[in-house]
Copies of this chain bind each other. A is one copy, B any other.
Amino acid sequence: MRVSAKADYAVRAAAELAAAKDGPIKGEQLADSQDIPLQFLEHILLELKHHGIVRARRGAKGGYWLAKPADTVTIADVVRAVEGPIAHVQSAPPESIEYRGNAEHLQEVWIAVRANLRAVLEHVTLADLVSGELPAAIRVLAAEPDAWAPR
């Protein structure tokens, strides 16, 4: 139930790429602007490339850029690329688990958890993120004072 450094880095780098207008951006530049260890970041970018989220070119004028328009890439896409499936229970998808006895309805709870995670992650695109114009439903969630309270 936590967000790894890797996922956080991946989304931040992707946001930086989404904001870039002209040509490929170098790894070092991404690492600098988001304060991410360069070598670690390049591994992450490679994973993103393998998942078809970014593209890259080497050489003097090389760098990274988004493989698709920023408004078609969601945060869920980026997170899944580096962390794998969202909200798995014991490394298995919740719809495949069978609970017995008094825990029988726990499956529905985990399904609801995943649905609510998806409701945020699959509906915020990189374009939304850099423009700051998050979908209305998400803005409502983040605006509630209670959401900012530690617990």
In the complex, what's the smallest C-beta–C-beta distance from A79 to chain B, in angstroms? 7
Interface range, A side = 35 or more
Stretch from A41-49, A53-61, A104-112 forming part of the interface with B: A104-112
Which B residues are in CB contact (< 8 Å) with A138? 108-109, 112
Within the oligomer, what is the number of copies of this chain? 2
Bound Cα distance from A123 to B130, whole angstroms? 33
Q: Which of A93-131 contact B (CB under 8 A)?
A: 93, 95, 99-106, 108-121, 124, 129-130
* 30 sample A-B contacts, Cβ–Cβ < 8 Å, listed by A number: A1-B3, A1-B7, A1-B87, A1-B117, A2-B86, A2-B88, A2-B89, A3-B90, A4-B90, A5-B90, A8-B90, A11-B106, A12-B106, A15-B101, A16-B102, A19-B101, A33-B100, A33-B101, A34-B101, A102-B129, A108-B138, A108-B139, A109-B129, A111-B141, A112-B142, A114-B147, A115-B141, A115-B146, A116-B117, A118-B151
